[in-house]
Amino acid sequence: MKTFVWGLGTSDRCLRKEIRDELDKHAEQNIFAEAKKFNLTITEIGASRPICIDCEEEIKEKGIFSWSSFSKKKSKNRK
Ligand SMILES: [Zn+2]
């Protein structure tokens, strides 16, 4: 089984606003999409800020270990 570890943090801030709007996803969601594309299994995830409740659910559902804390809140930015 292939494993996939990807740290989060600066990637979303590096993107220009228009690209970020186009993606309309959380960094966590981008990672899930990338991993799926390359048929990789994510085993661990880490973010520089607390992970929102939507992403937390997905992380737990996939059995991923998180180095980050969970905010237990819905993201305010989520559309
Ligand atoms: Zn999120």
Tell me the per-residue pLDDT of 38-74, one tens digit each, with 9 for 90 and over. Answer: 888 888 888 777 888 989 999 999 999 998 899 998 8
Q: Is 44 helix (H, G, I), strand (E, B) or coil?
A: strand
User: What's the whole-number average pLDDT of the chain?
Assistant: 74
Please give the distance, rounded to the nearest whole angstrom, from the Cα atom of residue 14 to the centre of ligand 1.
17
Q: How far is the CA of 78 from the centre of ligand 1 (A)?
A: 8
Which single residue is written with the structure tokens 């089984």?
A: 1
pTM (2 d.p.): 0.64
Which among 65, 5, 63 has a CA at the least distance from the CA of 34?
5
What separation in Å is there between the alpha carbon of 7 and the centre of ligand 1? 14
Tokens 């990789």 -> residue: 40
Centre of ligand 1 from the C-alpha of residue 21, in Å = 15
Distance 2 CA to ligand 1 centre (A): 24
All structural domains of the chain with their residue ranges: 3-66
